[in-house]
Amino acid sequence: MGAAIRATGVVKKFGEVTSVDGVDLSIPAGSFYGIAGPNGAGKTTTIRMITGLLEPDAGRIEVDGISVWPNPRRAKSVLGYVADNPPLFGRLAAREMLDYAGMLRGMAAQDIRTRGDELLRVLDLEADAGRPIADFSLGMTKRVGLAVAMLHAPRVLILDEPFGALDPVNTQVMEQMLQRFREGGGTVVFSSHVLDVVQKLCDRVAIIARGAVVAEGTVAELSHGGSLQDAFVDIVGGRELAEGDLSWLSSSPA
């Protein structure tokens, strides 16, 4: 089916610091693809460049065959993106946020209403649809962010730490939604530190460390039939407490 996302030699610097240093990615269309890495490895910066929110200093990025830079607007028409903490308009109600997002994308009013109603119902937000988003918990805000991202039926859905702050019931519902999206021909890409979830859901995984892809392959190839978390630590390098560290934690009270 070809590549849903192709990144070649992508570089991003912030002053003297190189956050992303020549990232190459080829994400198959119709796949469930995971991106993992330590804090500060460059994962979110890479995602922001793929989604057209941050311009790379070098390299090329294509989404669904569309070049993202230097003009990201066309690529955004086939993309849905949910940030770790979605930047929504807090004074709008959830229903108003969906209406606004749909109008920005030039959708027909009936489609906005029909799809929005269904998304609010599936994500258990119907009863709160009239409340301002500023009053929502982070988990509820993430659910609104997912609804906004899926409203226009994108071909590629990108999520940064999608399951953080969600309770088990809503996590299960989101997983089912993403699987159904994929079954309809969509591509799901998500970044997460919860490697058990990555191992459970993903076909392939890229591990980013120090701004570059240091390993890429199927979950089975990277985990060698064991735990993806153990493989991750082996690849990026682990840390252990030295003998005697924090010994005061087990000391008896005076």
254 located within any domain: no
Question: What pLDDT does 176 receive?
Answer: 93
Question: What pLDDT does 4 receive?
Answer: 96
247 located within any domain: no
Question: What pLDDT does 246 receive?
Answer: 87
Question: What pLDDT does 251 receive?
Answer: 66
pLDDT tens string 146-167:
999 999 999 999 999 888 778 8
Place 253 in a pLDDT band, splitting at 50, 70 and 90. low
84 located within any domain: no
83 located within any domain: no
244 located within any domain: no
Q: What is the mean pLDDT of residues 36-51?
A: 92
CB 29 within 8 A of CB 2: yes
Percent of the chain topping pLDDT 70: 98
Question: What pLDDT does 184 receive?
Answer: 92
Q: How many domains does the chain have?
A: 2
Give the CATH number, domain containing residue 190: 3.40.50.300
